[in-house]
Amino acid sequence: MNIKDVENLAELARIELTEEEKKEILSDMESILGYVKQIEEVKVEDVEANNEPYNVWREDVLEPRDFSPQLIKEQFPDSQDDFLKVKKIL
């Protein structure tokens, strides 16, 4: 892993990093990945493929919920006429 990789990850994760922070992250990542790499030595050929997490669905029916619309709106940093306001996308 190098600084370019860290920059790429930060871009994907939408986090701005200073040059200093990038260096620190790089060194942290190297030590953490160095630790977790030990799983390479585990043999897992006989594990069935169906052990991955799966979705639990429910019917799309209208049910009363006790959310407070007023409280939700109050959490928006910016809003207009009861709508969440964001910077233009296109």
Binding site for other proteins (CB under 8 A): 1, 5-6, 9-10, 12-17, 21, 25, 28-29, 31-40, 42, 44, 47-48, 51-53, 55-56, 58, 65-68, 71-72, 74-78, 84, 86-89
Q: How far is the CB of 10 from other proteins (least distance, A)?
A: 7
Sign of CA dihedral 58, 62, 63, 66: positive
Q: How far is the CB of 19 from other proteins (least distance, A)?
A: 13
Q: How far is the CB of 81 from other proteins (least distance, A)?
A: 17
| Among the listed residues 35, 5, 45, 41, the one whose alpha carbon sits nearest the alpha carbon of residue 22 | 5
CA R_g for the chain: 22
Beta partners for residue 80, in sequence order: 83
